[in-house]
Amino acid sequence: MQHALVLLRRRLISSIPVLLIVVVGTFFLLEAAPGDAVDAYLAGIGGGDAAMVEQLRQSYGLDQSIWARLWTYLLSLLRLDLGWSVAFDRPILQLIGERLPNTLLLMGSATALSFSLGSLLGILAGARPGSFTDRALSIGSLALYAVPSFWLGLVLSVVFAVQLRWLPTSGIETIASGKAGLDRALDIARHLVLPVGALGFIYLALFIRTMRAGMAEVWRQDFALAARAKGLSRPRIVFRHVARNALLPLVTLLGLQSATMLGGSVVIESIFAIPGFGRLAQEAVAGRDAPLLMGIIVVSALLVIVVNLLVDIAYGLLDPRVGTSEQAA
């Protein structure tokens, strides 16, 4: 536990400059856009006179220099204030706080699906490297990896929601159903089956391939040979000795994939009309809402930092060797 705390502190400190680069970089990128938030707002309401434009610019602080605005933005970030959304006319933090849980639920379920099924199939493939099962799974996972997630989502929704009518086509829950407790949870689960499937299946391939490659590596190690020489049964060697040691790289993959999955949720949420974080990003782009887009990028960077931190801590707990080397360093 001591190790975890040391690691936590070190990682938090080292992530501050990185986050600062993200904030400043995104600020200047969005600054390069033609027109500002007031232009977008005026286009939305159908124009206004010069005095009103002037007053609006002042109230948003847009009459100040770019450096002054960057400084103000950084200061308000420290107060956990992400600013005001032009398109929604609401505080950005509140908007993100509303949308984030849906996305976390979607991503968490998709990760759980791809991790569990992926490691299982990876064990199946890696149990006998070079066997027919191994080759079939390897080609199959490659094909799966080549499928665009949004297209898989469309195909799944045509088959299971439109043709078979087994599952709902869109949304996170039945609107105004008055359901509560377990009923509501089941309702949400039914709505999430297709999007989680579409998102999870894409990343399934990566877990299968990593698990399989890890097992092929472990088979060559001395202790695997020793286990075979002792005359242990094949399933025991596969599960207790080989698979267990090949599982760790998959944990690393969890952290690496969190950013990709967050990006992937944009299209999936737009296809299944899930009011989540990713869809908010698309709405920010459509509404030319630069402050909202800025807030979304900052929060997603924070989220990725946190996920990677959790993965590192989990890694240290799973593999005692990591903690010792950290301390020696």
Partner 1 sequence: MSFFARLLHSPEGLVGLLLLLLLAAAALLAPVLFPTDPLSIVAAPLTAPFTNGSVPLGTDRLGRNVLAALVHGARASLLVGLAAAAVAILVGALVGTLAGFSGGFIDEALMRVVDAFQIVPGFLLALAFVSVIGASLPTVVLAIALGAWTGPARLARAEVLSLRERDFVAAARVIGMHPLEIALREVLPNALPPVLALTAVIAAGAVLTESALSFLGLGDPNIVTWGSMIAEGRNVLRTAPFLSLAPGLALVITVLGIYLFAEGLSDALARRRIRQ
Residues in contact with partner 1 by CB under 8 A are 17-19, 21-22, 25-26, 29-30, 32-33, 139, 142-143, 145-151, 154-155, 158, 162, 259-260, 262-264, 266-267, 270, 281-282, 285, 288, 293, 296-297, 300-301, 304-305, 308
Q: What's the min distance (Å) between Cβ of 267 and partner 1? A: 5
Which of 151, 239 has the CB closer to partner 1? Answer: 151
> Looking at beta carbons only, is 191 or 288 nearer to partner 1?
288
Phi, psi at 49, each rounded to 5°: -85, 170
Name, in order, each residue with C-beta under 8 angstroms of 47's C-beta and a sequence gap of 6 or more: none
CB of 188 to partner 1, least distance (A): 24
E strands present in the chain: 84-85, 90-91
Distance CA 80, CA 281 (A): 19
Q: For residues 251 and 119, what is the distance between their CA atoms, to the nearest angstrom?
A: 11
Q: Which helix (H) or strand (E) holds 298?
A: helix 290-318
Task: Write down the least CB distance from residue 43 to partner 1, Å.
Answer: 15
CB-CB contact of 272 with 173 (8 Å): no
Query: Taking the complex as a whole, how short is the minimal distance between the CB of residue 271 and partner 1, in angstroms?
Result: 8
Comparing CB distances to partner 1, the nearer of 52 and 302 is 302
Nearer to partner 1, 166 or 239 (CB): 166
State the minimum distance, in angstroms, from the CB of residue 138 to partner 1: 9
Q: Which residue in the block uniquely carries the two structure tokens 């027919």?
A: 132
For the bound state, the minimum distance from the C-beta of residue 266 to partner 1, rounded and expressed in Å, comes to 6
Residue with Cβ nearer partner 1 (247 or 312)? 312
At residue 174, the 3 state secondary structure works out as: coil
Write the CB contacts of 7 (distance below 8 Å, at least 6 apart in sequence): 312, 313, 316, 323, 326
Nearer Cβ to partner 1, position 139 or 225?
139
